[in-house]
Structure 1
Amino acid sequence: MKIFVINILFILAVLFPVSPEIQAAAVFQDLQQDQEYTEYKGRVLSSDRERPVGSAQLTVLNTNIATVTNADGEFSLKVPSNLSQVVVRVSYLGFESKNVALEYFSEENTEIFLEPSVEELSEISIFQAEDAGKLVRTMLSKREDNYLNQNTNMTAFYRESIRKGRKNVSLSEAVIRIHKKPYTSSRKEEIELIKARKTADYDKLDTLALKLRGGPYNALYVDVMKYPEYVFYIDDISDYSFSFDEPTQIDGRYLYVVDFEARERSAPWYFGKLYIDAQSHTLVRAELNLNVDNRSVASRLFVSKKPGSTRVYPIEVKYLIDYQQQDGKWFYGYGSADLTFVVNWKRKLFNSRYYVHSEMAVTGWKPDPGDVNPRRSDSYLKPTVVMTDDVSGFSDPEFWGSNNIIEPDKDIQNAIDKIREQLD
């Protein structure tokens, strides 16, 4: 079993430099030049109005434009001005999907309510699988049938935040272009940086700079169907135990829910849930957790370098991956990672606790007819990249232009507001 982790690098701060559907033509936003667009904002809520629906997908039908809601259910959706007569599909696991004409949206305070799925799924005759492990093997074997099998250019928004206790100490955001490879290819994706901004408050880091090494690559590599070897693979799937949980549905599709956990537990081990389409055996969502009770091994797994006066180890690691579908093919749509680290200083009574959150949402895509090995430019990122500081972008409210982004939740928005106040 191979373990996938997000590498964390600790170094001294002084060393750190830095309605009816109306057809529309397929559209891909060229992020190298802004275009005329209208931005619509609002929230997605459960029909009882009691809770926001975070990570809900909003997709403009018959185009390649999409976004997701933040943790507060809030969204920002930018649509080219020449696409006023289109329909937006709003969907989330366990809710009935809803198609909403764009004319329903307003530029502020649009509210969309989703109804929970109430059908008794355990009674649906389509659920016939009896062996959860066999179902997962079938899921892995159908990558070529169910997932993109061509080179694709994807535009995505990436955000990475670090908190020390309740205080935000680092915030990075970027629009990137992913050169996505076929799901059956062994070649890894490459990422181009289109636009980015970052700031960090090193004084609040106790002279310790905590940096994510890998940046957007970390969110990309949790794509289980592209990189199954990072969790499990068909040859050693017997290293895991599988069992069925209560089924659910999304977008009118019935889903098996499979719980899994590693049998071998001498090292950090994975457990979680797989949401598998009952008809096509497609993985549409994965929730992964890494057990890190063995602190010494987990520390070696994550920490590349640290001052000798500290003990650093993770106490919680979890990932989420959602897939999107278009024209019968599925692909990575959204991924997030949440990590909690403890830093113990030898001569300090209290330890420090850091919370690292990163997320990436695909907001546009199109086939890539270019060369298999495109000429690399300086805008290409390395997997070992650490985004350098560029605070100036926070002073411009229109920094993202026509690019769709994940609307900042309240905590992130407060951090952005404070950054802008400091820049004024």
Structure 2
Amino acid sequence: MVVELKKLWSIGLFFFLSFVGNGQENKLFLPLTISFSDISIDSALRKIELQTALHFTFNSDLIKNSPRVKADFQQVPLCIVLDSIFTNPRLDYKIIENQLVVFEQTNRIVANLAASENLLVPSFTFGGFISDIDNGEPLPFAAISLQNSTLGTMSNEEGVFSFKMANPKATDTILISYMGYQSLKLPLQTIGNSQHFRLQSVSIPLQEVVIRGLYPENLIRLAILYKEKNYPNQPFKQRAFYREYIKRDKNYSIYSEGILDISKRAYRPTLFREQVRLVKQRTFKSFNLEDSVQFKLHGGIQSSLDLDVVKNDFPFLMIESMSDYVYQMRDMVLNDGKLTYKIEFNSKNPKMPFTYEGCIYIDVVSMAFVKIEFEYSKMALLAMRNAFVLKRSPKLNIIPIFAQYSVSYKQFEGFYYIHHIKGELGLKAKRKQKFLSSKYYAGFEMVATELSGNESHQFVANQKINASQIFSDLSSYYDLKFWESENFILPEEDLMKAFERLRLAK
């Protein structure tokens, strides 16, 4: 086999894998230049041993009946070279002194979500409205979870949510959290079917004595160095609620939502891509063929996977490109009851293409990236005006107005896992030789509702979907019962009205 590494193109930008760490494990990420001329795997490993002064330890069954290796690597991380040789996504590598151990991953994650003999409460669903305690404003995308578990959901843009639990314990606690607010911890026994939950805003301004000598660039560099210990070093599987939409002005043209199983890769360089299995899906379409402009965007599922900014390094989180940005400490806020640095960043040269601006949130104690909000600069939007749309009429001019993204992580058993991803694109569409134009809004959102370990993280071929394909391929009446026991984000009020109009029109 001849191995050729390709750069990953995602939402209009190249993302380069750049992992920096401390200790022996960092040797796995060091670049290696080596070639193999149609030799056995055993001979290839011996050649690596001679060049790296490491000695391999592994079960010989791992290389039985393996094909011969023919490849040329130029400055490629050692772990990528090993992925290419073994071609087994279930293998992982660990360096102990001068021994490089190759082993099959085990089921490290054990989420306490299954029923047991000690469960005291039957299946339970509750919902409500989450707002600011002072002004009553709704808190969109607040996190609702079962404490000390990976089960959770989020409120919608109007602060409304529904949360389902399969056989929780009577002693369980519900956690409601929102960035910059004091978290609510509520015993399950005190919660009714529907309630109004009010959160208290907490701001912690940085005093001069605190920020003296504390440079935001140093905090980001430290958080980059700590990625190896803060994020999972083994593959894992997540269940997630996903939705995407296209709106013309204030009216929905397409709305699709579904439940996905995602096989996530470890937070290290790897040749293997993440896999997606579709569990269920619903799609709502409403087109006026006389005056509606129809177009479709690049696959939002793949964009969601690519927006894991800690795994797929973005320039503003890469040590070698940090000099292109200006970082400013702005505040300290609470996130899940923990102090978090808030750092703003902007490009030093906003006229350059493919530049960003936004905010980075870093946990004060763990130094983990917990949330990143960012958007493309205006020059980047102009440079990428044709990169966002997959299909459109040739009579249509498309001008991007904004492209905004938000990515957050949630801690469980010592590691931070991707939790919520949201992206929205604003476009102005104008037919050629026409004076008036319309504004379109296209967005996607993914929230992890459950985390699980699995002996095999590979989905069989007929279960996998192409994450880059257009998601909206079903059309039927929207029914809340469709979700059964799954957690999902409740549709906003204007969406429910649109669903009802569609139902009455049939």
TM class by smaller structure: 0.7 to 0.9
Instruction: Give, in whole Å, the separation in 1 of the partners of 2:329 and 2:8.
Output: 24
Q: Trace 1:375-390 onto structure 2 (pairs within 5 A).
A: 375-390=459-474
Structure 1 pair 95–207 and aligned structure 2 pair: CA distance change class (3 A): closer
Q: Which residue of 2 aligns with 1:238?
A: 323
Structure 1 pair 376–3 and aligned structure 2 pair: CA distance change class (3 A): closer
Greater Cα offset, 53-62 or 408-417: 408-417
Checking the alignment, whether the CA contact within 8 Å between 2:243 and 2:258 is kept in structure 1 is: yes
Q: Which residue of 2 aligns with 1:11?
A: none
Amino acid at match of 1:130: L
Residues 1:321 and 2:407 are matched in the alignment? yes
Q: Which residue of 1 aligns with 2:376?
A: 290
Residues 1:274 and 2:357 are matched in the alignment? no
Deviation at 1:377, TM superposition (A): 2.7
Q: Trace 1:103-182 onto structure 2 (pairs within 5 A).
A: 103-108=189-194, 110-119=195-204, 122=207, 130-182=214-266
CA distances 1:68-113 after superposition (whole Å, capped 9, x unpaired): 11111111000113534310111111111111111222223x1111
User: Tell me, what secondary structure is at the counterpart of 2:171?
Assistant: coil
Identity %, equivalent residues:
24
Greater Cα offset, 129-138 or 198-207: 198-207
Greater Cα offset, 201-210 or 324-333: 201-210
Q: Which residue of 1 aligns with 2:11?
A: 5
Q: Which residue of 1 aligns with 2:54?
A: none
CA distances 1:19-71 after superposition (whole Å, capped 9, x unpaired): xxxxx980069xxxxxx732211011222252111111111013221011111
CA distances 1:218-256 after superposition (whole Å, capped 9, x unpaired): 223211111114655222222222111122122231111
Q: Which residue of 2 aligns with 1:13?
A: none
Structure 1 pair 113–367 and aligned structure 2 pair: CA distance change class (3 A): same
* Root-mean-square deviation (Å): 2.6
Amino acid at match of 1:413: M
Residues 1:250 and 2:256 are matched in the alignment? no
Instruction: Give, in whole Å, the separation in 2 of the partners of 1:212 and 1:379.
Output: 23
Checking the alignment, whether the CA contact within 8 Å between 1:143 and 1:184 is kept in structure 2 is: no
Q: Which residue of 2 aligns with 1:422?
A: 505
Return the index of the structure with the highest Cα Rg: 2
Q: Where does the alignment leave 5 or more consecutive residues of structure 2 unmatched?
A: 1-6, 14-109, 116-121
Instruction: Give, in whole Å, the separation in 2 of the partners of 1:253 and 1:124.
Output: 20
Q: Which residue of 1 aligns with 2:55?
A: none
Q: Trace 1:398-409 onto structure 2 (pairs within 5 A).
A: 398-409=481-492
Structure 1 pair 379–416 and aligned structure 2 pair: CA distance change class (3 A): farther
Instruction: Give, in whole Å, the separation in 2 of the partners of 1:129 and 1:204.
Output: 61
User: Tell me, what secondary structure is at the counterpart of 1:382?
Assistant: coil
Structure 1 pair 2–152 and aligned structure 2 pair: CA distance change class (3 A): closer
User: Tell me, what secondary structure is at the counterpart of 2:416?
Assistant: strand
Normalised by the size of structure 2, how large is the TM-score?
Answer: 0.73
Structure 1 pair 47–144 and aligned structure 2 pair: CA distance change class (3 A): same
Q: Which residue of 1 aligns with 2:494?
A: 411
Q: Trace 1:55-70 onto structure 2 (pairs within 5 A).
A: 55-70=141-156
Q: Where does the alignment leave 5 or more consecutive residues of structure 1 unmatched?
A: 8-23, 30-35
User: Tell me, what secondary structure is at the counterpart of 1:228?
Assistant: coil
Structure 1 pair 320–295 and aligned structure 2 pair: CA distance change class (3 A): closer
Instruction: Give, in whole Å, the separation in 2 of the partners of 1:26 and 1:254.
Output: 27
